[in-house]
Amino acid sequence: MMAAQFNKPDYPLFDNYTYVILGDGCLQEGVQAEACSLAGHLQLGKLIAFYDDNHITIDGDTQISFTEDVVKRFEGYGWHILHVDDGDHDLDSIKKAVEKAKAVTDKPSFIKVRTTIGYGSLHQGEEKIHSGTLDSEDTRQLKQKFGFDPDEKYVVPQEVYDHYHKRAASNAKENDAWDKLLDKYAQVYPREGAELKRRLEGKLPEGWKDALPKYTPSDPAVATRKLSEAVLSKLAEVLPELVSGSADLTGSNNTRWKGAVDFQPPSTNLGNYSGRYLRYGVREHGMFAIMNGIAAYQGLIPCGGTFLNFLTYGWGAARLTALSQLRVIYVMTHDSIGLGEDGPTHQPIETLALTRATPNMLTFRPADGNETSGAYMVALENTHKPSIMALTRQNLPQLKGSSAEAVRKGAYVLETDDRPDVTLAGTGSEVPIALEAAGMLRKEKGFKVRVVSMPCFELFDDQPRDYRQSVFPRGIPVVSVEALSTFGWQKYSHRSVGMVTFGASGQYPDVYKHFNITSEHVADVAKELVAHCKELGYVPDLNTQL
């Protein structure tokens, strides 16, 4: 994609190969099947994978669990297949295989290299060598076998240092040559050169935030997944590094802007390699892992969509995004029991409790258009954190008092009476429920009420205590409402209205009523909580207030 966007005649800025080493264990994981299948479809000719075929996993020989014909599988994926029969000794054949792989430009290459695990050890070819340590006798004979002094310990021969120093110097020269090529490129193609340098420095273009949509309460009610589409459509015009996609749910996730070109092999007539929209197919885990690779390569900002409940299909890769400090945007739609008829198999309950518990990950659940714009603004500004966008299927009203900037704080006061008796806090589609409940409390009981919108717990937790106490003042009971698990809300509220079971199938208003996630119930819970605190004689402090 970067090559298609930036390379010019005599300026092959992006022409590198990507090498992968796979083992027998790797080839049993589902994620590799997803990613490798897509790589074959996309005809990624600069991808070269070495299969370290040693027939061993931790439990023993692959005969006990892994007897498929891997080569036939990869042939079926559309890969170019090469064999090296003696990977223990025949380095020349490995080199020749790499050159043959490079000569095939319309297929990724799979080089099956037969090896012996623990080669040279007394236990070579056995599973115990996979993760075990060599005893002193085995270590001694191994050193003698390969020409080392068996009595020396923790010694790195000078020739090894020399080899690596020479390699480092060579790499430094290549890097310097590339930098010079980029400078020349920028002189001949100043617009493209400036754009590329900006991207490689990790900077966003001047004025990009001006493209974010703004809304007023008079604007129509819209699902936040559609509001997300509006944001992506605007950002695509000002952020050429933005790359989107979906795991076979484009029409539901609304991740493709009008005029987007698919990233496809030109020979298919379905798109081209400069396209910025990836059709991942039904491959959630693969999509998340691929987005990690795109982000790590630099110069591109990946986002990809599926249903929020399917986030856990590929959670290992999503967790790695946070661990690797990568800017990846997860566009997760159908974010609660509000998705309705698909029922409990598709309705996320525990998912946001998981993402909110994950270090270095931001979880956004915007309540309207302004908060959706703000969520993307903050996500793009955080260059070393992934962001989860939890977005509704159902329409939500544009709220009075919301703003994109308010999202930066994680939570803010949407409306309040002087000296409130109770605070109602919510996220996403339940903020309007909290507002309606506040109106009931004022009208029926003369209560004074504060309503807080909490689009991002993690950002709120990062705020100074003074700000957190200004949103949730001590001495005022708090009721939360969210149509997902109540787990985690104990930090911010005294009582929670939410889900403690799996969901149910039905029209979403009926499902909400079934689980008592209604403005009437929120108001009743608030009245009970206020009465309880009066009887108690005080309002217990919350963790967020300390």
* H or E element, residue 278: strand 277-279
Please state, in angstroms and as integers, the Cα–Cα distance from residue 154 to each residue in 120, 137, 141, 157, following that order. 19, 16, 16, 10
Please state, in angstroms and as integers, the Cα–Cα distance from residue 139 to each residue in 89, 119, 134, 442, following that order. 20, 12, 6, 79
In degrees, to the nearest 5, what angle opens at C-alpha 373 toward C-alphas 367 and 375?
70
Residue 18: phi and psi, rounded to 5, are: -115, 125
430 carries an active-site annotation = no
The single residue of 34, 127, 284, 482 carrying the catalytic annotation is 284
Token output for 236: 């695509």
What sections of 69-157 are H helices per DSSP? Answer: 70-77, 91-103, 128-131, 136-145
The residues that bridge with 495 in the sheet, in sequence order, are: 479
The residues that bridge with 372 in the sheet, in sequence order, are: none
Q: Which residue has the tokens 């110097």?
A: 169
Pairing of strands 387-391, 362-364: parallel
The distance from CA 55 to its chain's CA centroid, rounded to whole angstroms, is 33
Token output for 156: 């790195």
Q: Which residue has the tokens 């990724």?
A: 108
Note whether 301 and 243 are within 8 A (CB): yes
Pairing of strands 277-279, 60-61: unpaired
Pairing of strands 60-61, 56-57: antiparallel
DSSP 3-state of 315: helix
Rounded CA separation 14/2 (Å): 7
Note whether 407 and 456 are within 8 A (CB): yes
The residues that bridge with 50 in the sheet, in sequence order, are: 21, 111
Rg for the chain, CA atoms, rounded:
28
DSSP 3-state of 391: strand
Spell out the residues 6+ positions from residue 268 whose beta carbon is closer than 8 angstroms to its own.
Answer: none
Residue 65: phi and psi, rounded to 5, are: -155, -10
The distance from CA 273 to its chain's CA centroid, rounded to whole angstroms, is 23
As annotated, the active-site residues are: 284
